[in-house]
Amino acid sequence: MAYYMTEATRQNCQDECRLSPNKEATEEDLKRIGVECTKVDFDDAKVKEDLDRLIKQYNMNFHDEVHISRATMPNFDEKLNIFFEEHLHDDAELRVIKHGVGYFDVRGKDEQWIRIPVRRGDFVFLPAGIYHRFTTDRSEDVVALRLFRNNPKWTAYNRNADGDQQSTRQEYLNRIA
Ligand code: KMT
Ligand code: NI
């Protein structure tokens, strides 16, 4: 279940960063900013069909797998710095978590960060142009499927650089207005 989070830094971002008292983000809060979450049951024999259905539903045609861990990712700390820097893309970001625990943070309607905890079976759709960031939890071991179309536009435009200048950003803001 998603929740509004505390100010997080690269130092404490792998903790839950919950407000106290906890402030839940509702499905409506997420829908308002174009974020969709659902589940895939990897332990069901039909998982392949489930994934194919999701891929079709979102008009994607490929998926690959990334393993985010110190053992498998060269320059792990540098990669996490990049993942956790607030950014947007020209294409949507679709991920299914296959192993481990991580956090997708997305900017809510009033700019507050909403934290979406993800674990095995969680599917997340982040629309093009939304500001977001990602981190693993302290276990630093996440396997994720990335759904995409041919030639995905995954260049990250950072908010503190040229993110606001991208037409994708304006289009996104118009869509959610
Ligand atoms: C991204 O674009 O920030 C990512 O792919 C994050 C890792 S996927 C769990
Ligand atoms: Ni991203």
Q: Whose CA is nearest to atom 4 of ligand 1?
A: 83
Question: What is the per-residue pLDDT for 83?
Answer: 98
CA atoms within 13 A on the CB side of 136: 21
**For ligand 1, is residue 83 a contact (CB within 6 Å)?**
yes
- Tell me whether residue 20 is in a domain: no
Residue 166 — pLDDT band, cuts 50, 70, 90?
A: very high
Mean of pLDDT values over 42-68: 94
Residues in contact with 169: Cβ distance below 8 Å, sequence separation at least 6, in sequence order:
88, 129, 157, 163
Question: What is the per-residue pLDDT for 75?
Answer: 97
| Residue 136, amino acid | T
Mean of pLDDT values over 102-116: 97
- Tell me whether residue 140 is in a domain: yes
**For ligand 1, is residue 92 a contact (CB within 6 Å)?**
no
Question: What is the per-residue pLDDT for 97?
Answer: 98
- Tell me whether residue 172 is in a domain: yes
Mean of pLDDT values over 146-174: 96
- Tell me whether residue 117 is in a domain: yes
**For ligand 1, is residue 134 a contact (CB within 6 Å)?**
yes
Atom of ligand 1 nearest to the CA of 156: 2
The pick from 66, 133, 147 for probing ligand 1's pocket by mutation, whose C-beta has the most ligand atoms within 8 angstroms, reads 66
Question: What is the per-residue pLDDT for 74?
Answer: 94
Read off the pLDDT of residues 59-68 as tens digits, 9 standing for 90 and up. 999 999 999 9
Mean of pLDDT values over 4-32: 98
* Exposure letters 87-103 (e unless 16+ CB within 10 A, then b): bbbbbbbbbbbbbbbbb
Domain holding 75, by residue range, is 35-176
Q: Complex ipTM, two decimals?
A: 0.91
Residue 66 · residue 102 · CB < 8 Å: no
Q: Which two tokens stand for residue 106?
A: 């997305």
Mean of pLDDT values over 78-94: 98
Task: Tell me how many domains the chain contains.
Answer: 1
Question: What is the per-residue pLDDT for 160?
Answer: 97
- Tell me whether residue 14 is in a domain: no
- Tell me whether residue 13 is in a domain: no
Mean of pLDDT values over 155-171: 98
Mean of pLDDT values over 113-120: 98
**For ligand 1, is residue 148 a contact (CB within 6 Å)?**
no
Q: What proportion of the chain, given as a percentage, has pLDDT over 90?
A: 99
Compute, in angstroms, the gap from residue 117 CA to the centroid of ligand 1: 13
Atom of ligand 1 nearest to the CA of 82: 3
- Tell me whether residue 29 is in a domain: no
Mean of pLDDT values over 91-100: 98
- Tell me whether residue 43 is in a domain: yes
The enclosing domain of 142 has a CATH number of 2.60.120.10
